[in-house]
Chain A
């Protein structure tokens, strides 16, 4: 077992990473209402512990593939919030020069292989990235994030089978937030035991409380150690909950306000922060300092985005085809 070293600095780091995501997205909502961010905006509100916990287990050599709800993964992976905010606002100084937007963050330097907006579409890519690493002798793990809705896509089943068959070092992270848009988990699955599905492809796995950042980190560290040791994929189901609408247009007819409130009380930040405070592991002024620091970071990100230029329309067709392979 890999122990999570819960020293003071690490505890602060985990809390800060989650608060960064939460506050970043709160600012995104404001900017969306001000019509500075357009299109879809899928908030990660409530699910922060999953990406923060999992990223702790990865090294810079590892690879990450995410979904359209990937603000949390990108921030936790260390992608510059300035470039992310600028991308949100469709600016040239955004991580994808404004071509991707909220659902398609990419960062080659951090081996962040994209937000993918087709449910299940990122899973086969993970096979390829992991295969390429393996064939080139790189001992990297590919962490592939997807929601429980992806489990219903054929690509999930094809991918898990191939990952085990070819013994690829992939950490499959299923963020089970209990709703694929409005479709409730138990209304969509004949068998709600997801590790059972994984094990049918001989992919070992476990379910972890995705609202508990320490539990996620611990499980992810064990999983990544095991992947590196055994050279086989692993499936980690993180039970979590989305506090807000699927995107910004959603009357949420499919669930009750009481249900959402009950989950909010179990939220990853309120819970972790409460635990830290109750056990006197953190001082109130430390929380305030973190929040202040994060808010300054976000203010800077917004300023960076606001002052960013626009890609000239003359460059519209650039990168439709590439002149060379970037290195």
Chain B
């Protein structure tokens, strides 16, 4: 492989490839960057994101770990305190629960608790979400939990461009950053626009402009929501789709600007609705844009069940375009 160059024509690649190129660029750019995680080396990554990196960068910088999530995430915290720029991969958000102590009790408390003596410039990547028929313990969407924690930045790249460039942004942040890669996106192909060399990691983005209703979403639900918007367009409903991109700190301004324009809002979230990021967004709109609204807020979330294995049951558990379109339709043209 050659060193990454700014592209002059659109390049077609998968989300997986975009993630890998981002890691490779980071490893090439800074000798303090190294990767740790389960099966990231010889196996090539459980979603094949890190395939080939061991051969290129060696065992010192592409560190296969035993199945000790708490130890290797904590090692990332310690290494970040002592001058390195670790990127830790946790196979999936489900397994990150075994490392919650290190993330929630150490990584985000130490900068504040030490009175600013230590920063924790740690990036943690993990896969998230359902849809692969792998049942409850491999299908959770807990991004909203992490977005609850002060001190974390929570990124949810949904596009090829964000998968390619959010990591570089994360590595310029002196604070712990979690990047959630939705499992259903790895095989998605898309074009990387020419001459883009970075993206911000602060703001939400309007992915489809519209005037009748705001559909606010992120991650794996973005393309379901865009599909719903297309269906609505066929009925003469002009939906705006906001991709949050960053769940913490939440870009409230982009959300409120969109709602002020459309006056109607549906929030789409693969997390459960109770105590969720969708609840947070809804409340912020209620607090700050209540009088802009022409209709009640609506949500399309995962059903409140452990995500089941059987295809028809899993499909019924997760948000889907028809349900999103129905919620929007109900707001714009109440029956």
Contact = CB atoms under 8 A, between A and B. Distances in A.
A106 B113 contact: yes
B130 interface: no
A128 B74 contact: yes
B114 interface: yes
Contact of A321 (B65, B82, B105, B175): B175
Interface in B21-44: 32, 34
Nearest to A135: B84
Interface residues of B, number: 43
A125 B78 contact: yes
B82 to A, nearest CB: 3
A323 B174 contact: yes
B105 to A, nearest CB: 5
Interface in A43-100: 63, 65, 94-100
A319 interface: yes
Contact of A132 (B65, B68, B79, B102): B79
A322 B82 contact: no
A9 B118 CA distance: 36
B6 interface: no
Nearest to B69: A158
Given A63-B82, A131-B79, A135-B60, A123 B74 contact: yes
A231 interface: no
A129 B68 contact: no
Given A99-B115, A133-B82, A324-B119, A121 B105 contact: yes
A326 B70 CA distance: 25
Contact of B75 (A133, A162, A323, A326): A162
A322 B111 contact: yes
A161 B66 contact: yes
B111 A128 contact: no
A113 interface: yes
B308 interface: no
A168 to B, nearest CB: 9
A126 interface: yes
Contacts of B32: 136
Contacts of A124: 70-75, 77-78, 102
Contacts of B105: 118, 121
B200 interface: no
A132 to B, nearest CB: 3
A139 B84 CA distance: 16
Contact of B106 (A125, A136, A322): A125
B116 A125 contact: no
Contacts of A323: 174
A95 B115 contact: yes
A125 B283 CA distance: 37
Interface in B58-113: 60, 63, 65-66, 68, 70-84, 86, 101-102, 105-106, 110-113
Interface residues of chain A: helix, strand, loop or mixed (majority): mixed
B116 A128 contact: no
Given A133-B82, A136-B83, A321-B151, A158 B71 contact: yes
Interface in A176-234: none
A100 B79 contact: no
B275 interface: no
B78 A131 contact: yes
Contacts of B74: 121, 123-125, 127-128, 155, 159
Contacts of A63: 82
A318 interface: yes
Contacts of B175: 321-322
Contacts of B80: 128, 132
Contacts of B76: 128
Contact of A322 (B78, B84, B116, B150): B116
A106 B71 contact: no
A128 B77 contact: yes
Contacts of B118: 106, 108, 113, 326
A244 to B, nearest CB: 25
A100 B105 CA distance: 13
A114 interface: yes
A118 B100 CA distance: 12
A126 B114 contact: no
Given A100-B115, A118-B105, A113 B34 contact: no
Given A104-B114, A113-B81, 10 more contacts: A96-B114, A97-B116, A123-B71, A127-B71, A127-B74, A128-B74, A129-B79, A136-B83, A155-B74, A319-B116
Interface of A: 63, 65, 94-100, 104, 106-108, 113-114, 116, 118, 121, 123-133, 135-136, 154-155, 158-159, 161-162, 165-166, 318-326
Interface of B: 32, 34, 60, 63, 65-66, 68, 70-84, 86, 101-102, 105-106, 110-119, 121, 150-151, 153, 174-175
17 contacts: A65-B78, A94-B115, A106-B115, A108-B117, A108-B118, A114-B114, A121-B102, A129-B79, A129-B82, A131-B79, A132-B82, A158-B66, A162-B65, A162-B68, A321-B175, A323-B174, A325-B174
The 8 closest A-B pairs by CB, nearest first: A128-B78, A124-B74, A158-B71, A132-B82, A158-B68, A97-B115, A106-B114, A96-B115
